[in-house]
Each structure stands twice: as C-alpha cells, then as structure tokens.
C-alpha cells in the first residue's frame, strides 16, 4: 500500500508545480515606472546665463606725467580715503646714457656755448664803456648848455647818444644772460644717470604725489615695483566694494524677451542660498562674439542691481562669477506637469497617462515651459497621473506599477 501512496503524492507535486509554472507564465507583466501628478502651482519661465559682478564706478588712477613711479605705498584690498591716502608717487626719470658720438657732440656744444659766453662778456664791457663815455659827454654838454656856450642841438645829440649807448648796454647784458643759459643747457646734456641721486638732494619737491580720487578699496595694481611710466599709463584702480552690480551677455534672441525691472535669481555664487537681483538696463546695441564652437553670436549686455542687502553677501566682490536666472514670465496658478513626462509623438507633444494601472498614450497641448515644468493648455486635467522618463518598455496599453510601491 505504501508504494501507491508515494506515487499519488509524487504525481500531485508534479501537477502542482506545472500549475505554478503555468500561472507564472500566464500572469500579466507590470512595467515599473515613475509617476507624477498634474497640479496647479506657480510657474516661472527664466532666461539662464553666466554673469559677472562688478563695481559700478571703478576709478582708474593713471600717471599725469612721464617719470619714475616709486614702489606702490598701497596693496590690493587696502582701504583708502578720498584726498587723504597716498596711492602713488612719481619723480623725474634718470637721464639717458650717451654714446661716444652723442657725448662728443654734447662736449663740442658746451665749448661753443662757453666761447659765446666769453664773447658776450667782452661785448658787455665794450657797451658799458661806450655808455660811460656817452654819459660823460652828456654831462659836459649839459654843463656848457647851462652856461650858454652849447646850443640846444648839441645837447639833444648828446642825449640821443647816451640813450643809444644805454640800449646797447642792455642788449649786451641780455645777450650774456642768454649765453649763460646756453652753457647751463649744454652742461645738462652731459649729466650722467645717477648724478642727481648722488647730489644728496632728497627734499622731494620735484616729486608728484597722487591721492585716492574716491573712498573705497584698491582693486588692482598694475605693478607694485618702481618703474618708468609714460604719461597716461594706468597705475591702479579703486572702487567702493559695497556698490556692486551684475553684468551678463545674453543672446539677442533671449534679451528681447525680458524687460527692465524683471526679477532675477543669483545662484552658484558660493553662498548657501540664492540672492535676488533686478534688471536695470538692457543696452540698445548688440555685439558679435565667437562661441567656443566657433559660431558667431549676437550678444546684448544686460545690467542688474542687487536686491539682497550687502550685509547678506559680504564675501561677494569685484569680477566674481555668478549664475543668473532672469524671470521672463511668471504665473501664480498654472496647470503644469513635469517636463520629463513629455515626448514627441509625430509632430505633437504627448504623455503616458496612468489609468487603472495601464499606460494610455495621450496627446497634450503645451504652453510656456522651463527646465522642470511645462504649462498644460489642453489634453489632460488636474489630478491626472503621468509617467516621467518613460522607457522603451512603456507603450500604449502596457500595464505599469509605481516604482515607489515596490521599495
């Protein structure tokens, strides 16, 4: 009897196993998916771009004259006060070296000037002697005229001769002064570099001292070391650190979609939360910029002011990089769905709507959208459950299950 019972039990197990395998094979397959709900919520459409902070009014200090600028008395980041803090000192430059030919020419010019000076002194002595002689003649004729033995014409001739002699003396005196200046000029050409420093004159009266044109911080210094500079050469820049703005170069097709006063979010600046800014100005002219891919683009410069107080962004400074999201449009109560649920079905937008655990291909009409959500204008209603990031396994009529319920 034991043998038939074992056969019956074995047969029952085999039949049960075949039934389980058949049930597993015939059971409908569910595709795990991510599901989101279509709801009403605020929606913002933004223009995104990288920007740069900068101080609105940066003062560039340049050399007013050519000369040698001394080592910078200030450093980058130093606080300066308008009209008080010395930011640069300029002194006359050293004379240039003379080659052999130039030195010989300068020495010859000096000898010529010295000889002319000697000649002018001789002429001055001759003119002085003529003037003294004319003075004596005038005195004698004047005395005779007083006694009535000299005529009026003789007195007039003596007076004219005295005037001519005095004029010649003044001319000779001026000529000597001119020749002395020529000697000094010729000697100056022969001055060697370093001769002025070896003279021991350290009064500093010949130097120019530049003070800060505005109160603020030193932003940059062209060169901290002493050097020769030409007139107009930049020395350093100064600006008030708390007077920041943002500049961003937008594509012209993006710039036409925003307006002055538009709200903006400043992100990726290094702080924990986003800052707020507002568009102040959109420049009327675009410029051409070549992108990293070698494509010519028309860009427009847009300027923004910070709305967030400076106390909440103390570390932000001049020429810091930031990321901007400028609000082009905002809706307070918009029917929206995740942008990841959308795909193209032919030439139209479509989504997979979950109905009774089944994916249904549904065409939708889309309005404005950003990087996360899109505005729904038609095709589905609020509360509809849509599949986000649908895979190739999802199709119309496929059974689906929410991935979150499997965890």
In this structure, the number of other CB atoms found within 10 A of the CB of residue 249 comes to: 18
The confidence score (pLDDT) of residue 200 equals 46
163, 283: one domain: no
Residue 17 lies in a domain: no
Mean pLDDT of 75-87: 94
205, 286: one domain: no
Cα–Cα dist 374/364, whole Å: 11
Lowest mean pLDDT among 80-84, 192-196, 260-264: 192-196
Cβ atoms of 223 and 301 closer than 8 Å: no
359, 278: one domain: yes
Lowest mean pLDDT among 89-98, 200-209, 292-301: 200-209
The domain that contains 263 carries what CATH number?
2.40.30.170
Mean pLDDT of all residues in the chain?
88
Cβ atoms of 360 and 387 closer than 8 Å: no
Cβ atoms of 386 and 380 closer than 8 Å: yes
Q: Which residue matches tokens 């989504």?
A: 351
Residue 305 lies in a domain: yes
Output 259 or 201, whichever has higher pLDDT.
259
Residue 21 CA: distances (Å) to CA of 18, 28, 259, 294, 355: 5, 13, 67, 62, 29
Residue 16 lies in a domain: no
Per the structure, the count of domains in the chain is 3
The confidence score (pLDDT) of residue 23 equals 47
351, 206: one domain: no
Lowest mean pLDDT among 116-130, 139-153, 332-346: 139-153
225, 281: one domain: no
Residue 265 lies in a domain: yes
Residue 3 lies in a domain: no
358, 281: one domain: yes
Domain boundary among 213, 239, 265: 239
The confidence score (pLDDT) of residue 2 equals 47
* Per-residue model confidence as pLDDT tens digits over 155-197: 889 899 989 999 999 999 999 999 999 999 988 888 877 665 5
229, 89: one domain: yes
178, 284: one domain: no
88, 170: one domain: no
The domain that contains 204 carries what CATH number?
2.40.50.100
Residue 42 CA: distances (Å) to CA of 25, 275, 306, 369: 47, 19, 24, 12
Residue 22 lies in a domain: no
Domain boundary among 191, 219, 251: 191
339, 254: one domain: yes
The confidence score (pLDDT) of residue 17 equals 63
Cα–Cα dist 55/57, whole Å: 6
What 3 state SS string does the chain have? Answer: CHHHHHHHHHHHHHHHHHHHHHHHHHCCCCEEEEEEECEEEEEEEEEEEEEEEEECCCEEEECCCCEEECCCCCCCCCEECCCCCEEEEEECCCCCCCCHHHHHHHHHHHHHHHHHHHHHHHHHHHHHHHHHHHHHHHHHHHHHHHHCCCCHHHHHHHHHHHHHHHHHHHHHHHHHHHHHHHHHHHHHHCCCCCHHHHCCCCCCCCCEEEECCCCEEEEEECCCCCEEECCCCEEEEEECCCCEEEEEEEEHHHHCCCCCCCEEEEECCCCCCCEEEEEEEECCCCEEEECCCCCEEEEEEEEEEECCCHHHCCCCCCCCEEEEEEEEEEEEEEEEEEHHHCEEECCEEEEEEEECCEEEEEEEEEEEECCCEEEEEECCCCCCEEEECCCCCCCCCCEEEEHHHHC
Residue 10 lies in a domain: no
204, 328: one domain: no
Residue 2 lies in a domain: no
Cα–Cα dist 238/218, whole Å: 5
* Per-residue model confidence as pLDDT tens digits over 26-57: 446 889 999 999 999 999 999 999 999 999 99
Domain boundary among 166, 191, 216: 191
Q: Is the predicted pLDDT of residue 11 greater than 80, yes or no?
A: no
Exposure pattern of 329-345 as b/e (b: 16+ CB <10 Å)? eebeebbbbbebbbeee
- Residues 6 or more apart whose CB falls under 8 angstroms from that of 297 comprise 251, 288, 289, 290, 291
- Percent of all residues in the chain with a pLDDT value above 90, rounded to a whole number: 69
79, 105: one domain: no
Output 381 or 347, whichever has higher pLDDT.
381
| Boundaries of domain holding 314 | 43-54+242-406
Closest CA to 340 of 301, 394, 295: 394
Output 15 or 37, whichever has higher pLDDT.
37
């Amino acid at each position: 009897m034991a043998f038939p019972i074992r056969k019956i039990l074995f047969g029952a197990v085999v039949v049960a196993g075949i039934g389980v395998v058949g049930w597993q094979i015939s059971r409908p397959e569910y595709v795990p998916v991510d599901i989101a709900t279509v709801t009403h919520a605020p929606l913002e459409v933004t223009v995104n771009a990288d920007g740069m902070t900068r101080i609105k009014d940066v003062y560039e200090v340049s050399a007013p004259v050519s000369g040698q600028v001394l080592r910078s008395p200030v450093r980058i980041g130093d606080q300066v006060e308008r009209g008080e803090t010395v930011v640069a000192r300029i002194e006359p430059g050293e004379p240039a070296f003379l080659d052999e030919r130039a030195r010989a020419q300068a020495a010859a010019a000096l000898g010529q000037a010295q000889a002319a000076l000697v000649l002018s002194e001789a002429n001055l002595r001759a003119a002085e002697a003529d003037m003294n002689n004319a003075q004596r003649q005038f005195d004698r004729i004047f005395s005779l005229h007083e006694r009535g033995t000299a005529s009026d014409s003789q007195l007039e001739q003596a007076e004219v001769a005295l005037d001519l002699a005095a004029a010649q003396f003044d001319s000779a005196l001026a000529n000597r002064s001119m020749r002395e200046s020529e000697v000094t000029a010729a000697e100056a050409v022969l001055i060697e570099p370093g001769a002025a420093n070896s003279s021991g004159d350290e009064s500093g009266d010949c130097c120019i001292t530049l003070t800060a044109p505005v109160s603020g911080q030193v932003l940059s210094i062209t060169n901290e070391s002493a050097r020769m500079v030409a007139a107009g050469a930049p020395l350093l820049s100064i600006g008030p650190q708390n007077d920041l703005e943002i500049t961003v170069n937008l594509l012209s097709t993006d710039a036409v979609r925003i307006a002055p006063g538009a709200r903006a979010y400043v992100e990726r600046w290094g702080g924990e939360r986003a800052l707020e800014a507002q568009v102040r100005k959109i420049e009327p002219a675009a410029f051409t910029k070549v992108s990293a891919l070698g494509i010519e683009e028309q860009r427009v410069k847009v300027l923004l002011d910070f709305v967030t107080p400076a106390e909440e962004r103390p570390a932000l400074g001049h020429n810091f990089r930031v990321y901007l999201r400028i609000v082009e449009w905002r809706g307070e109560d918009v029917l929206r769905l995740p942008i990841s649920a959308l795909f193209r079905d032919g030439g139209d937008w479509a989504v997979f709507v979950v109905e009774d655990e089944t994916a249904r291909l549904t065409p939708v009409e889309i309005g404005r959208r950003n990087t996360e959500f899109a505005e729904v204008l038609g095709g589905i209603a609020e509360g509809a459950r849509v599949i986000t990031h649908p895979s190739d396994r999802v199709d119309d009529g496929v059974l689906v299950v929410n991935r979150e319920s499997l965890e």
